[in-house]
Structure 1
Amino acid sequence: MTGNSPLDDPEAAAFAWARYRRIMRAMLLFTIGLVAIAMALLYKFGGEVSVHFYIATALGVGFVMLLAGALMGLVFLSSGTGHDESVDNNLPDNDPEN
Structure 2
Amino acid sequence: MFYITAETMKEAEAISKQLVEDRLVACVNVFPRIRSFFYWEDKAKSEDEVLMIGKTRTALVEKLIERVNELHSYTVPCVVTWEIDKGDPEFLGWIDEETL
As a proportion of its length, which structure holds more strand? 2
Higher relative contact order (CA 8 A, sep 6+): 1
TM-score where L is the length of structure 1:
0.29
As a proportion of its length, which structure holds more helix? 1
